[in-house]
Amino acid sequence: MFDYIKGKLVSKQTGAVKGAAIVVENNGIGYLINTTNRNVALAKEEGEEIRVYTTLIHREDAMLLCGFLNKEDRDIFNILLSVSGVGMKVALVLLDEFSGYDLISAVIRGDFKELSRAKGVGPKLAQKIILELKDKLINWQKTSPVDVSDISAEQKSVDTEAISEAQAVLLSLGYSAQEAKGAIKLACQTVTKQDSAEEILKEALHYLAQE
């Protein structure tokens, strides 16, 4: 319903009881947005203008807004919600414990012990998250083939499979093919581990976050 809300930051709160939240005023309406302590800490001072990328959670008894300061975290939040057994609170806890990139990296590596560091995420749930998300992130190209021939031709020293895997993840996060290719081309110029999809993805997300 809302892609983002831009307005004045009225208030922000942290805490384990009610959870982290901010209030953003736009055209005389104050939007209560659930978020992470990480985002509250990074938010501007009260009274300043802020842009928050949002997701509307529709429950039988309530409609809730969740929001993040960058599009990547919001999109990863939405993907987390697609995992059975992962609701709003668990998704927020995961994105409070890990940055978006670190979370994706742990999923790609299959590191369930790392994910289970998050409060309330046990080993079984962590393994379930990895099982479902890894397939969605990496195997995106099986249903929507990704053409990386033009990137591979320009970046001959970089592993084609790593490029393909990184681009598949970016597409699954909602980026267009043009955005993904542009970011990966820039990333391939600076990566040190040229056969690592994780390294390419990290740099690509860095460039996309600056846009």
In this predicted model, what pLDDT tens digit does every residue of 202-211 receive, in sequence order?
A: 888 877 876 6
According to CATH, the topology of domain 72-138 is DNA polymerase; domain 1 (1.10.150)
Please state, in angstroms and rounded to a whole number, the distance separating the CA atoms of residues 50 and 190: 31
Query: Model confidence at 194, in pLDDT bands (50, 70, 90)?
Result: low
Confidence (pLDDT) at 142: 46
In this predicted model, what pLDDT tens digit does every residue of 43-69 receive, in sequence order?
A: 989 999 999 999 999 888 889 999 999
Write down the pTM of the prediction. 0.74
Confidence (pLDDT) at 108: 79
According to CATH, the topology of domain 140-210 is Helicase, Ruva Protein; domain 3 (1.10.8)
In this predicted model, what pLDDT tens digit does every residue of 67-90 receive, in sequence order?
A: 999 888 898 899 899 888 899 999
The secondary element (H helix, E strand) that includes residue 138 is helix 123-138
Confidence (pLDDT) at 132: 85
Confidence (pLDDT) at 61: 85
The pairing of strands 49-58 and 4-13 is: antiparallel
Q: Which residue has the higher pLDDT, 94 or 208?
A: 94
- In percent, how much of the chain has pLDDT > 70? 85
Domain 4-68 belongs in CATH node 2.40.50.140: yes
- pLDDT higher than threshold 90 for residue 188: no
Domain ranges of the chain: 4-68, 72-138, 140-210
Closest by CA to 16, choosing from 114, 120, 125, is 120
Across 126-143, average pLDDT? 74
Confidence (pLDDT) at 152: 52
What lies within 8 Å, CB to CB, of 94 at 6+ separation is 80, 103, 115, 118, 121, 129
Q: How many other C-beta atoms lie within 10 A of the C-beta of residue 1?
A: 8
The DSSP call for residue 119 is: T
Q: Which residue has the higher pLDDT, 121 or 195?
A: 121
- pLDDT higher than threshold 80 for residue 195: no
Confidence (pLDDT) at 23: 96
Instruction: Decide: 160 and 152 in contact? Cβ < 8 Å.
Output: yes
